[in-house]
Structure 1
Amino acid sequence: MSLLYKNLRVHQVFGANTDVGKTLLTSALVRASASICERVYYLKPVSTGRIEEADDEHIKRYIGVNAERLRASCLYRFSEPLSPHLAVKLEAEKTKTEIAIPSDETFTQALASNIRRSASTAKTYSHMYVETAGGIHSPTLSGTTQVDSYRPLFLPTILIGDSRLGGISSTISAYESLMLRGYIVDSILLFKDEYYRNGEYLAPYFAERGGHVMTFDPPPPRLPDPAENFEVTEKYYQDLVPLSKEGDVFNVLTHLDNCHFQRIQQLDTMPRRTLDTIWWPFVQHGHFKSEQGVNVIDSAWGDFFSVYNSHRRPDSAQPTNSLLEPQFDGSASWWTQALGHANPALTMAAARAAGRYGHVMFPGATHLPALNLAERLVKHGPGKGWASRAFFSDDGSTGMEIALKMALRTFAVKQSPPLDMANRKQLGVLGLKGSYHGDTIGAMDACEEGVYTCEWHNAKGYWFDPPYISIRKGVVHVTLPQSIAAEHPTGEIVLDSLSKAYAVNQRIDSPLASLYRDYIRRTLDRLEASEQPALAALILEPLVMGAGGMIFVDPLFQRILVDTVREGELSKTLPVIFDEVFVGLYRLGIETCGPLLGVNPDISVHAKVLTGGLLPLAITLASDEIFQAFLSDNKTDALLHGHSYTAYPVGCEVANETLKILEKVTNSEQWQSVKQKWATPEDREPAVFSLWDQGFVQATSQLASVKEVMTLGTLLAIKTQDDAGEGYRSNSAQQLLQPMIAAATHELPNAFGMHFRTLGNVAYFITSLNTPPETVRMVEDKIWSALSKAGS
């Protein structure tokens, strides 16, 4: 929702506290702007108290000789001189009417609409000021503090400092609160005070931090006689804003204008500078022939990026159109976002730990964020009932390499006699075709040859071609690979619902289960008799293989695979690793996949959602049997693996905060309501569900341009029809959905573009866990529009 215009410089005015002169200094800025601009706009979003004392009335009263150039307005006005959240309630009580308190989204949409209207009438370069109420943390109408409520707009900010006793502290605290939330603070203004002289301290303090400070003579004392008061106040403004258009107030305007133009210039040069210096991951730079392909992200909030579009959209050259537009983060920023971008609670958690610890060495040590996180995950989270230890690392790929080390060592020492080093180096793994466990070399070696592997790749193991679940033409299908389909009477399985498909314990004795079991046993017997490397671990991405193409593996097959590798003698039992980097922590609507599959792993890896998308951090959970394999009096028997930022306190604290919020989200009425919509008449509670609408999913699966659809939790995957073939090299999904990228018209409320990624002929979309249902519905409309047009 962030807005930026060539012809309209907009600044938001915050106060370090109440009664610091916010309106007085804003009036001076407005008056000066009116003397040099054809138009100047002033917006007071919320006003409380008597109309004659309202801030917008003060602005009008002291605009000076250029009154016709001023456009002043107020969105919400209440008569009680109280905090807005109380004023709106008292207004309802006094008038005995039911006043609908606007939500934060409604509030910011109203502000954005006012700014858009102002921009549409600003034919020449103009200024606009949005003045908040009270201090930066004063509540808005909903009760949310202003600094959070206004953040989606991401307007450049002027902070009015406090010149009174204690004002140094309150000004710095206000500034830091703004900076913690990413605000651009272009200037700090405050009155001079000959006794406290706060400006003398604050000017160099902020100068060291790149800040701009300006101090002004204080206004005269307020006189009881209105006429006399007007006269002395008008004289004050005449001195402060002289007709000569010179002085400190005009210097501030010049500074603010320079900040505005520098920001636009910086955004305008970013595409070219990016193409000249950055090497992107997973991008063929040969396809980027022009700057138009570069997605310039100016800021992010909630589920949306705010992207610069001047180099992409011809209509952005119009001075009345915003240079920024909202773009839905359709891939949850590579599957990491769980609670929306710039979540203030996570930001505060990061700051809290950074201020307390920074980073500290971890071997042989402990700190509270790491200890709390380990206990939460082992005893109450994904490791509940089976895990005994938590090992910290940097990201999912390194977490998986740790899991491999754990599993291979455990297998080797459990053999009788234990394997020597030469035989240990020949060990392989068992997995599924289409697997992906990260881009570090060891994680690559746990997968078969594919588009993600590299020259040093040395695949070690065997990978089953798995059956998978999808919705085709409104019907849930289990698609069997050729190796299994040849033994099935029809080669195709149809299920009544997704709940039935994921009711693993109810399917465990079915004929299909027997077919799976016999096939797996025969294959493993064949592998054992061959000269294949000895298999030492089973590695699975439970339920969904992400990077391999969003393959929703039949959970029954995975369950039987785990059961089968655990059936033999202890010496031949394979440790089981669950790679839950993508699927874990409610990404698929469930905290962890073990309970649904009906089996727990020996090792599991968690990342991405773990820190709500704010910081990289991974946890490898292990059972006590795995831990005991490394326990001895010999140092070289230890798990000699670690990272400089192991158990990074900032990441651990953010993860703790994320898990606390996730517990609230997943127990909320909204979450439970969405869940029940996927229940069938015979379900007390559905085995699985999706945040995507069931009717939309069914209808989309029947479009001519769509081969099949699948969804769980926050994830929606759409496989498009492609006569040229399937796989990563296909470009059909990207081509079909290309119209969604740009907003239809970014000057309309709720208009937004879409950022999404494709895996060949598979397009996938991921929401946050707390994405509002109305936002999901709007995204569904965009997907439907693009796909239905493509098939017509």
Structure 2
Amino acid sequence: MSLLFKNLRIHQVFGANTDVGKTLLTAALVRASAAKEKQVFYLKPVSTGPLEDADDAHVKRFAGPNAKLVHPRCLFRFDEPVSPHLAATMAIDAGKKEVVIPSDEAFVNSVASHIRQMALYASDARPSHMYVETAGGVHSPTLSGTTQLDAYRPLFLPTILVGDSRLGGISSTISAYESLLLRGYIVDAILLFRDAYYRNFEYLNPYFAERGVHVTAVEPPPDKQRDFDQNFATTEKYYASVAQEGRDGGVAGVVDHLDACHQKRLAELDSMPRRTLDTVWWPFVQHEHVQRESDVNVIDSAHADFFTIFNGKKQPSTTSTTKTTPSSLLQPQLDGSASWWTQALGHAHPRLALAAARAAGRYGHVMFPTATHLPALKLAERLVHEGPGKGWASRAFFSDDGSTGMEVALKMALRAFSSRHGLQGADRKKLGVLGLRGSYHGDTIGAMDACEDAGVYTCEWHNAKGFWFDPPSVAIRKGKTVVRLPAAIAARTEEGAEDVETGSLSWTYDVEKRLVTPLAGVYRDYISTTLEKLREKGEHRLAALVVEPLVMGAGGMIFVDPLFQRVLVDVVRGTPASSSAGDWSGMPVIFDEVFVGLYRLGQETTSPLLGVAPDVSVHAKILTGGLVPLAVTLASDAIFKAFWSEKKTDALLHGHSYTAHAVGCEVANETLRILDGIKGSEAWAEAKGRWLGGATEDAKDETAAVWSFWDPSFVDALSRSEAVEEVMTMGTVLAIKIKDEGAGYASTSAQSALVSLAEVGQQGEQLTAAPGGAPYNVHYRTLGDVAYFMLSLNTPPSLARSMEDKIWRALLH
């Protein structure tokens, strides 16, 4: 991940195109830095072409009077003067057995390792400079064929862009700059040659000045001489000239500017904790407990599964540095909660960033009522006809986030119930919902009213409206799959036991087969009897069933027995259903799939696994890959028709200023396209194979099988740990309940049990290394006595194994 050192200022040099003078201008920067008595490290990660023309040799040759301070290096060298990916392939084709094309991860690790090695030589007495020069243009391929912008992105080094002074160079320079911005790079300076004919600088200087980017024009080099000595003399004279102060500050002025940018970044990072404590009000945080600057997690950037955090305010760890490892002010931190469950494809995914830019550039935001645009229309069609609404939904309603999506769902369901039963006025205000204890549907008032009074997320205006069953839950204890029954249900069984072993996870989630078991009958009788007693009391007229299918997230990562939820739906609807096909019966059923939907649990939707479809469902979070907020509420045609009338006041009078925000819709479409690709990946197949190896062919179908990205042997070992009460996993989710007599949301047992996850391991621990080869710590959140972890849908298996190792070590700590 990104490296930042107090006394080693590092800049990466990209070119707007090939042959724009990138090496010449980098050599000038190196010479100017050396002239200021700085140690200068030059790195050319990949060099192609004859050795006598190598860039690292050129930089050393013209380093000037202080050449002894200049230390050039090349990591990968190839003979053919072509693109790196092609040069590597040609070397292999030529029979050079020693040539191995490194993966992007190995390539980045090599670059990062060299940077850390050079950081050893920087000190307070002699601050140093480093320049990392890329090859060709910004999108030129690396050795693996990945575009350079994406391959180098984990390092996130501040950037110098060498502009194009030739015909067409204005366009290529601006395009390269925008490509850098789309991937989040910090562009500190733009350099280009001053051309008297095309005069690109005259246009680019004010253009970038408006955007706060420093631009410097440098006199072009002399023509290359045939005579070696004469060429050396003229080139030396040229560098001696441009590396000094001159017009526009010259290259030496650029070096001063880069130093200032480095110091500004350090100062800003250093000041952020205090400024945050003085200004920000965090959600779900008791500020009394967070008053030290070292408690503030300063995130400098994020990429894939990691944050890059500033640790300048942290207390030094005894294990984080050694005498042979310089201490970077930035360190990788794994985003163990998927940033509150929003991440699906990792942070800063380039395809999602481009999708957002594409829609922002085309639409910005446009009004939606009685209008349409392609991003919204395509997303609605995809979700209704091919996605989670396939086979039951007819309409898609857009809103801002999961909580507002649930507000919409509740309005839909309650109106449908009221219309069918002819309820008017005050009678509509008395309606309640049926749900499960421990549920959570968001922090807007209506969504909170759909949860029981005992919930910790309620507020002064909360007015619980309905009834909530205490649900049976599924967990793995001591290697065995167990359904824990609430006392009221356990008392109805022949054994009277609260814990029921089900044999296996696959059997537990084979709902259709379990429907004929005695436990299904117990559930059915208990639910029917309870609902009948509620009707007799008349305290609530229940108008909608609202459930989080399979897993109640914020309630404590409670894996609800799927059989109970299926029977609950069947009882509410009547068995067989009392209404015609395609219509709702009993009361409308709402599935809150904000957390569990779109492959979070390994399936696109929970409906096939439960064997029933809802009348209304809500989708968010993974929907946009965690990049922007957006929610979609899907509804059946019967629900939609409840609002069909000649009167406008009968319409669904609910909306948001940013309804069907084009940026969010386009990002969602791109997310779904990516998911369509990765769900058939080798990594998914391997993960499924570990869990389903002994299952029947029918059970291996993704709509009928339960599997996890977490390794089954690891989960089994966790469940047998003395510190663990139980563990459960599905898809990306891992939940660990710590043994604690004072269990509950207020407990700190999970946080205490895993506190060592915040520590950073020794340099070189490859098992626990982030991209770039640096050891990492883990940012995780707990729900009282429950610690939970979430992977992305494209987390590399090696990183998942690394996380398992870290969690295991933390529990043994």
Provide TM-score, normalisation by structure 1: 0.97
**Where do residues 120-131 of structure 1 align in structure 2 (5 Å cutoff)?**
120-123=120-123, 124-131=126-133
**Structure 2 counterpart of 1:603, from 602, 605, 616:** 616
The letter for the 2-side match of 1:510 is T
Question: In 2, are the aligned partners of 1:387 and 1:623 still within 8 Å (CA)?
Answer: yes
2:781 paired residue number: 757
- Whole-angstrom CA distance in 2 between matches of 1:149 and 1:734: 35
- Whole-angstrom CA distance in 1 between matches of 2:483 and 2:477: 10
**Structure 2 counterpart of 1:447, from 445, 448, 451:** 451
Question: In 2, are the aligned partners of 1:325 and 1:746 still within 8 Å (CA)?
Answer: no
- Whole-angstrom CA distance in 2 between matches of 1:511 and 1:99: 65
1:668 paired residue number: 681
1:651 paired residue number: 664
**Structure 1 counterpart of 2:743, from 726, 731, 749:** 726
User: Is 1:696–2:701 an aligned residue pair?
Assistant: no
Question: In 2, are the aligned partners of 1:12 and 1:132 still within 8 Å (CA)?
Answer: yes
- In structure 2, runs of 5+ residues without a counterpart are 766-772
**Structure 1 counterpart of 2:265, from 243, 263, 266:** 263
Q: Secondary structure at the match of 2:191?
A: strand
Query: Relative to structure 2, which stretch is displaced further, 614-623 or 92-101?
Result: 92-101
**Where do residues 49-128 of structure 1 align in structure 2 (5 Å cutoff)?**
49-97=49-97, 99-123=99-123, 124-128=126-130
Q: Secondary structure at the match of 1:770?
A: coil
Question: In 2, are the aligned partners of 1:321 and 1:747 still within 8 Å (CA)?
Answer: no
Q: 1:320 Cα shift?
A: 3.5
**Structure 2 counterpart of 1:620, from 633, 638, 643:** 633
Q: 1:37 Cα shift?
A: 3.3
Q: Secondary structure at the match of 2:10?
A: strand
**Structure 1 counterpart of 2:276, from 274, 277, 286:** 274
Q: Secondary structure at the match of 2:692?
A: coil
User: Is 1:424–2:428 an aligned residue pair?
Assistant: yes
The letter for the 1-side match of 2:787 is A
Q: Secondary structure at the match of 1:616?
A: coil
The letter for the 2-side match of 1:508 is L
Question: In 1, are the aligned partners of 2:38 and 2:129 still within 8 Å (CA)?
Answer: no
1:240 paired residue number: 242
Q: 1:245 Cα shift?
A: 14
Question: In 2, are the aligned partners of 1:188 and 1:211 still within 8 Å (CA)?
Answer: yes
Q: Secondary structure at the match of 1:347?
A: helix
1:780 paired residue number: 804
**Structure 2 counterpart of 1:559, from 558, 566, 576:** 566
2:361 paired residue number: 355
1:37 paired residue number: 37
**Structure 1 counterpart of 2:757, from 718, 736, 740:** 740
Q: Secondary structure at the match of 1:132?
A: strand
1:486 paired residue number: 491
The structure-2 alpha-carbon separation of the partners of 1:386 and 1:246, relative to structure 1 and needing over 3 Å to count, comes to closer
Q: Secondary structure at the match of 1:314?
A: coil
The structure-2 alpha-carbon separation of the partners of 1:501 and 1:99, relative to structure 1 and needing over 3 Å to count, comes to farther
- What do the CA deviations read for 1:341-366 (whole angstroms, capped 9, x no partner)? 00000000000000000000000000
Question: In 1, are the aligned partners of 2:384 and 2:634 still within 8 Å (CA)?
Answer: yes
- In structure 1, runs of 5+ residues without a counterpart are none
**Structure 1 counterpart of 2:172, from 170, 180, 184:** 170
Question: In 1, are the aligned partners of 2:17 and 2:172 still within 8 Å (CA)?
Answer: yes
Q: 1:73 Cα shift?
A: 0.6
The structure-2 alpha-carbon separation of the partners of 1:245 and 1:648, relative to structure 1 and needing over 3 Å to count, comes to closer
The letter for the 1-side match of 2:378 is N
- What do the CA deviations read for 1:677-722 (whole angstroms, capped 9, x no partner)? 1015242244110000000000011111110000000000000011
The structure-2 alpha-carbon separation of the partners of 1:572 and 1:16, relative to structure 1 and needing over 3 Å to count, comes to closer
Q: Secondary structure at the match of 1:520?
A: helix
Query: Relative to structure 2, which stretch is displaced further, 286-295 or 383-392?
Result: 286-295
Question: In 1, are the aligned partners of 2:217 and 2:248 still within 8 Å (CA)?
Answer: no
1:195 paired residue number: 197
Question: In 2, are the aligned partners of 1:122 and 1:320 still within 8 Å (CA)?
Answer: no
The letter for the 1-side match of 2:375 is P
- Whole-angstrom CA distance in 2 between matches of 1:680 and 1:199: 63
The structure-2 alpha-carbon separation of the partners of 1:244 and 1:442, relative to structure 1 and needing over 3 Å to count, comes to closer
Question: In 2, are the aligned partners of 1:403 and 1:605 still within 8 Å (CA)?
Answer: yes
**Structure 2 counterpart of 1:516, from 520, 523, 537:** 523
Q: Secondary structure at the match of 1:68?
A: helix
1:206 paired residue number: 208
Query: Relative to structure 2, which stretch is displaced further, 671-680 or 214-223?
Result: 671-680
The structure-2 alpha-carbon separation of the partners of 1:516 and 1:98, relative to structure 1 and needing over 3 Å to count, comes to farther
The structure-2 alpha-carbon separation of the partners of 1:246 and 1:526, relative to structure 1 and needing over 3 Å to count, comes to closer
Q: Secondary structure at the match of 1:456?
A: coil
User: Is 1:394–2:394 an aligned residue pair?
Assistant: no
Q: Secondary structure at the match of 1:227?
A: helix
- The sequence identity of aligned pairs, in percent, is 65
The letter for the 2-side match of 1:744 is G
**Structure 2 counterpart of 1:330, from 320, 336, 341:** 336
1:709 paired residue number: 727
Question: In 2, are the aligned partners of 1:398 and 1:440 still within 8 Å (CA)?
Answer: yes
Q: Secondary structure at the match of 1:305?
A: strand
Question: In 2, are the aligned partners of 1:706 and 1:719 still within 8 Å (CA)?
Answer: yes
2:532 paired residue number: 525
The letter for the 1-side match of 2:727 is V
The letter for the 1-side match of 2:371 is A
User: Is 1:436–2:440 an aligned residue pair?
Assistant: yes
Query: Relative to structure 2, which stretch is displaced further, 312-321 or 435-444?
Result: 312-321
**Structure 2 counterpart of 1:500, from 487, 491, 507:** 507
- Whole-angstrom CA distance in 2 between matches of 1:231 and 1:539: 81
The structure-2 alpha-carbon separation of the partners of 1:98 and 1:486, relative to structure 1 and needing over 3 Å to count, comes to farther
Q: 1:406 Cα shift?
A: 0.3
Q: 1:98 Cα shift?
A: 7.0
Q: 1:66 Cα shift?
A: 1.6
- Whole-angstrom CA distance in 1 between matches of 2:683 and 2:37: 49
- What do the CA deviations read for 1:225-284 (whole angstroms, capped 9, x no partner)? 111111110111111224999951111111000000100100000000000000000000
Question: In 2, are the aligned partners of 1:241 and 1:247 still within 8 Å (CA)?
Answer: no
Q: 1:742 Cα shift?
A: 2.7
- What do the CA deviations read for 1:520-545 (whole angstroms, capped 9, x no partner)? 11001111111211000000000000
Query: Relative to structure 2, which stretch is displaced further, 279-288 or 119-128?
Result: 119-128
- Whole-angstrom CA distance in 1 between matches of 2:35 and 2:197: 33
The structure-2 alpha-carbon separation of the partners of 1:756 and 1:113, relative to structure 1 and needing over 3 Å to count, comes to same
Task: Please give the root-mean-square deviation of Cα atoms over the aligned residues, in Å.
Answer: 1.6
Q: Secondary structure at the match of 2:535?
A: helix
- Whole-angstrom CA distance in 1 between matches of 2:155 and 2:405: 38
Q: 1:676 Cα shift?
A: 1.5
1:28 paired residue number: 28
Provide TM-score, normalisation by structure 2: 0.95
Question: In 2, are the aligned partners of 1:717 and 1:765 still within 8 Å (CA)?
Answer: yes
- Whole-angstrom CA distance in 2 between matches of 1:284 and 1:81: 60
- Whole-angstrom CA distance in 1 between matches of 2:243 and 2:404: 61
- What do the CA deviations read for 1:165-198 (whole angstroms, capped 9, x no partner)? 1111100000010011110000000110111111
Q: 1:745 Cα shift?
A: 3.9
The letter for the 2-side match of 1:61 is R
Question: In 2, are the aligned partners of 1:3 and 1:324 still within 8 Å (CA)?
Answer: yes
User: Is 1:376–2:375 an aligned residue pair?
Assistant: no
The letter for the 2-side match of 1:304 is F
2:13 paired residue number: 13
2:769 paired residue number: none
- Whole-angstrom CA distance in 1 between matches of 2:719 and 2:35: 61
